[in-house]
């Protein structure tokens, strides 16, 4: 598959994923808003919550990465700067995805 077609498709699939996951997270966070550290840990340790939040980080960082790439391609005319920005955002979003999932795992296993 050509990479532009792949880009287009993944953008849509992740959008559908986010539709469910972002809504769930927004509602959940609203419920635990202002809770203490212990209560928040307890909330995250429910398997449903830890799985859904990990999925949320995967789909939304994917969606963010692809979306920002299009914005950069549209508004940054200098090719070299454009490429560097895209590489930077790609790397950053993967690093943050991994960091978030490691954080969830750490809490589930050690807290």
Partner 1 sequence: MSDKQTLESRPLSPHLQVYKAQITSVLSISHRISGVFLSLGLLTMSFFILLLALGKDSFFLWILFSTSFVGEVILFAWVFALSFHMFNGIRHLFWDYGIGLSITISKWTGIIVCFASVITSIIFGIILLELIL
User: What residues make contact with partner 1 under the rule CB under 8 A?
Assistant: 2-4, 12, 15-16, 18-19, 22-23, 25-26, 30-31, 33-34, 36-37, 40-41, 44, 53, 57, 60-61, 64, 67-68, 71, 73-75, 77, 79, 96-97, 99-100, 102-104, 106-107
Q: With respect to partner 1, which residue has the nearer C-beta, 51 or 102?
A: 102
Q: How far is the CB of 27 from partner 1 (least distance, A)?
A: 9
Q: With respect to partner 1, which residue has the nearer C-beta, 12 or 84?
A: 12
Q: With respect to partner 1, which residue has the nearer C-beta, 51 or 99?
A: 99
Identify which of 84, 82, 24, 91 has the alpha carbon closest to the alpha carbon of residue 61. 91
CA–CA distance, 17 with 11 (Å, rounded to integer)? 10
Q: With respect to partner 1, which residue has the nearer C-beta, 4 or 48?
A: 4
Cα distances from 98 to residues 19, 31, 75, 92, 105, in angstroms, run: 22, 26, 29, 10, 10
Helix 37-45 and helix 47-75, axial crossing angle in degrees, nearest 10: 90
């Amino acid at each position: 598959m050509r990479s532009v077609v792949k880009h287009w498709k993944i953008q849509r699939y992740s959008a559908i994923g986010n539709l469910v996951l972002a809504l769930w997270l927004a509602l959940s966070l609203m419920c635990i808003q202002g809770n203490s550290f212990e209560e928040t840990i307890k909330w995250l340790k429910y398997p449903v919550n830890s799985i859904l939040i990990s999925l949320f980080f995967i789909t939304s960082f994917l969606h963010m990465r692809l979306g920002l790439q299009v914005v950069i391609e549209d508004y940054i005319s200098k090719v070299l700067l454009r490429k560097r920005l895209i590489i930077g955002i790609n790397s950053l979003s993967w690093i943050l995805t991994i960091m978030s999932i490691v954080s969830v795992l750490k809490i589930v296993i050690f807290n």
